[in-house]
């Protein structure tokens, strides 16, 4: 089982680059919906407080991602 720190860092990396799909993430990492939402909430708070950025849910793509396309990423 992966630890919380690894999972949060992996989620952060995906959210700021490509976005993260709730269903794919939960099935790949055997995570409950409530845990997924709690982790997204933690990341949402961090990104807002530290970078002034918000995480949004894109209904067309079915992913959570940072709404600012100019957010610095690892790409």
pLDDT reading at 75 higher than 50: no
pLDDT in tens, 44-66: 999 999 988 999 998 988 899 99
From the options 3.90.226.10, 1.10.10.10, 2.30.31.20, 1.10.3720.10, give the CATH code of 4-66: 1.10.10.10
Q: Are 43 and 15 in contact (CB under 8 A)?
A: yes
pLDDT in tens, 13-45: 999 988 999 988 999 888 999 999 999 999 999
pLDDT reading at 71 higher than 80: no
């Amino acid at each position: 089982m992966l630890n919380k720190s690894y999972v949060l860092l992996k989620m952060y990396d995906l959210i700021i680059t490509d976005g993260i799909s709730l269903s794919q993430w939960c099935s790949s990492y055997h995570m409950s919906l409530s845990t997924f939402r709690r982790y997204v909430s933690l990341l949402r708070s961090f990104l807002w407080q530290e970078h002034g950025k918000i995480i949004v849910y894109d209904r067309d793509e079915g992913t959570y991602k940072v709404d600012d396309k100019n957010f610095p990423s690892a790409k």
